[in-house]
Every structure is written in C-alpha cells, then in structure tokens.
Structure 1
Amino acid sequence: MTAARIALDEGRVRAVMFALGATLTVIFQTVIALIFARFIDAHPEVVILLREIGLAIFILLTIYFFSRGTHKPKSAKEVKVRSKKGRFFFGMLLSAINFFPIPFYVIVSVSLSSFGYFDFENSEIGNFVTGAAVGSFMAFYCYISLFSKLESKTAVILKNMNYIIGSVTGLVSIFTIINILEYYFG
C-alpha cells in the first residue's frame, strides 16, 4: 500500500525505487527464513513452540490493529523527497521492519518440503529466493499500476486498512489456537 501511495503522491519512478528496495530486503528475509526452515525441518519438536509464540504475536497484532482502527489518523506532514535513493532505502527499511515474510516463508518452505515439492538444497533454495523476489516485485508493481487507476476507490480500503489487517491476524490466531488444541488434545 505504501508503494501505491508513493506512486500517487510522487510518481511511478519513485514508487518503483521503493519497490526495488523492499524487494532487496525480501531476498534477505527469504534466505534467513529458509535457514530457519532447514533447522525446523530437521527438528519437528520446535514447530509447536513456534506456533505458541506465533499465537501470542498474532493476538497482540490483532489487538493493536483493531485499537489503531478506532483512532483518527493525524494529519500527514508534507515530506519532500530529494532523491530516488531515499525511496529505495525507505523501501528497504519498511520491508525490514515487517517481520511477516520470515515466518511466512518458513511455513511455506516446510509445508512444501513435507509434501515432497521442495528440498533444502542450494539450487532449490536459489529458485525459491528468486521466485519470492520476482513475486514480491510484481505485487508491488501491480499496486503501483492499479491503484493509480482506482484512486477514488482506494480511499475506503486505506481508511479501513487497520480493521482489515486486524481481521486477518485475528483469523490466523483462531486457526493457530485450533491447531495447538488439536496437538495437545487431539
């Protein structure tokens, strides 16, 4: 959504620079996730502990986003960006503070491995990282391209974004609770 906002406010070139910076960070996050996933794949007893930690995090995020949704946003300050490099590094920074890609790619790679579609070999890891990078950049580029055409309709989505994210994290929390209860009682 930030890429779309930058495209609307500052132009497509700056938004693409933001997307490139965010994509570079996603590459590093994916490599870190696959290192964790390789360890988890070799030690399945760690999975339930990670689910419990993840549950606590998702519950806290749900509470946070729903409470943020009730607050009225402060008026935005006018920020002038002087270079395209600033948006590149801003993309890297914003992507770096987003911790969702690491557990996401851990879960995806371990799941694919359990179904026999992925092995933790260097060539497959390289393909996975490349796919994650290309997919991330394409998603950013779609935001950049499509939201400028749908600018009038995006206001409702942007206004309710905290509720949307809170709902998603709430659903993940519910599914995680069910999964943990099945593990202990089922």
Structure 2
Amino acid sequence: MIAFLQVFFIGIGVSFLGQLPLGNMNMIATQLSVQEGVRGAWKFGLGIAIVEIIYLRIALSGMNWVLQHMLLFNILTWATVLFFLVLGVVTIVAASKQQKEAKGVLVQNKINRFFLGASLSAINPIQVPFWFTWTITLFNNGLLAPNFSSYNWFTIGAGLGTLGGIGVYIHGGKWAVNKMGAKNRGLNYIMGSIFIIAALIQLYKNIQSPFGVPE
C-alpha cells in the first residue's frame, strides 16, 4: 500500500509541476475564470484532465504502440503549432478591432466548457511525449512498477495534479488579472501573444526532437 501511495503522490507532483509553466490551456482557464466565472473554468479544467489521463494511459499501457505510431503524434504536434499560431494571430486582430468589452475568440461561443477543454486538449497531443519521457524515467529509477495497480494509482494522482495546476491559474490568474485591473481587450491581447509564443516554442521543440520524444 505504501508503494502505491508513493506512486500516487509522484503522479500528483509530476503532473502539477508540469502544468505550472505558462501555456495555452492554463491561460484559457484564466480567461474563462475572469470572463465567465470559476465554475465554467473548472469544467474546462476537468475536460483537460480527463483527456490527459487518457493520453497517460496510452503512454503507460501501450508503449510499443506509441513507438510504432510516433509519426502520427508528430504530425499532430505540427498541426497543433499551426492551429495555435493561427489562433494567436486571429485573437490579436480581433482584439485590435474590438469596440467594446467582449470575450476572446476562443471562448466567445456556447460550447459546453467541459467539452471545450476536452476537445482542445485532444488536439494538443504534446502530453504523449511528456508522459512517455516521464514514465521511462520513473521505470528506470524503480519508482514506477510495470503493473496494473501502479498504473491506476499513478494515473489518478496525475489527474489530480493536473487539476491542481489548472486551479492555480483559475484562482491565482483571476486574482492577478483583477489586481492589475486588466480589461477584456487587454486580456485578449495577452492571450493572443501567449498562443503565438507557445506555438513558436512547440515549433522549436519539433525541430529539436523530430520524432516527438525529447532526447
């Protein structure tokens, strides 16, 4: 039981720390929290966490399958770069033409926030190389056993860690935006810039690691 709890807390720690760096999903959660309230933002975060759990299970239970289909994930990461680059440009252009306090391009819709989070997370497959690298590291250091129970505890912990990291942006991000007195237009400019920066960072990673797995 102690071993399983260790794996559980390792999953929480790895996922929480992995979620903290500034990124597209986190900032969308902040934007939803500011412009719609924390309830919708938490639905969005839950959608992200569930899809990430699915990607993690793929990495844990099907490493051979992942290795055989890295080309597919590589194509998806390039598509993600293009998607967020275009989205960043569109968001900035829309903000420059904004005549009143309006929501950002990505959240200006009636899509259920849970499904919005799940769908955006699903087309952002960089979780696969992230978890693939971490599971190999944990295996090599004897911190994760290759068995069903360990996988379950690790996955549950990772899901909670993801929610915790997103929660920092939902509440902490909202507090920071309110503290700065930022308006929707300014927030939309920030969102567009982050989309572009994140796309360029992913582009650099793709060039450095052409098969999607960090060296």
Q: What is the TM-score normalised by the length of structure 2? A: 0.62
Tell me, yes or no, if the aligned pair for 2:76 and 2:123 is still in contact at 8 Å.
no
2:195 match:
162
Cα 1:21–1:145 shift into 2, 3 Å: same
Q: What is the TM-score normalised by the length of structure 1? A: 0.70
Cα deviation per residue 1:155-183 (whole Å; 9 max; x = unaligned)? 56423113321332133134326xx9x9x
Give the counterpart of 1:73 among 93, 101, 104. Answer: 93
Q: CA deviation at 1:24?
A: 2.1
Gaps of 5+ in 2: 1-26, 99-104
Cα 1:59–1:92 shift into 2, 3 Å: closer
Cα 1:87–1:69 shift into 2, 3 Å: closer
Q: CA deviation at 1:99?
A: 1.6
Q: CA deviation at 1:87?
A: 2.1
Write the mapping of 1:59-138 to structure 2, written as runs, cut at 5 A. Answer: 61-62=80-81, 65=84, 69=88, 72-74=92-94, 76=105, 78-79=108-109, 86-138=112-164
Give the counterpart of 2:204 among 160, 166, 171. Answer: 171
Q: Which residue identity does 1:162 align to in structure 2?
A: F
State the percentage of identical aligned residues: 23
Cα distance in 2 between the residues matched to 1:92 and 1:62? 18
Q: CA deviation at 1:80?
A: 5.2
CA RMSD of aligned residues (A): 3.5
Q: Which residue identity does 2:93 align to in structure 1?
A: P
Q: CA deviation at 1:134?
A: 0.9
Tell me, yes or no, if the aligned pair for 2:43 and 2:114 is still in contact at 8 Å.
yes
Gaps of 5+ in 1: none
User: Is the helix fraction higher in 1 or 2?
Assistant: 1
Cα deviation per residue 1:75-102 (whole Å; 9 max; x = unaligned)? 6485457xxxx22233223322322222
> What SS does structure 2 have at the residue aligned with 1:99?
coil
Which range is displaced more, 159-168 or 54-63? 54-63
Which range is displaced more, 20-29 or 10-19? 20-29
Tell me, yes or no, if the aligned pair for 1:16 and 1:141 is still in contact at 8 Å.
yes
Cα distance in 2 between the residues matched to 1:17 and 1:148? 16
Instruction: Answer with 1 or 2: which has the greater Rg.
Output: 1
1:143 match:
169
Aligned length: 170
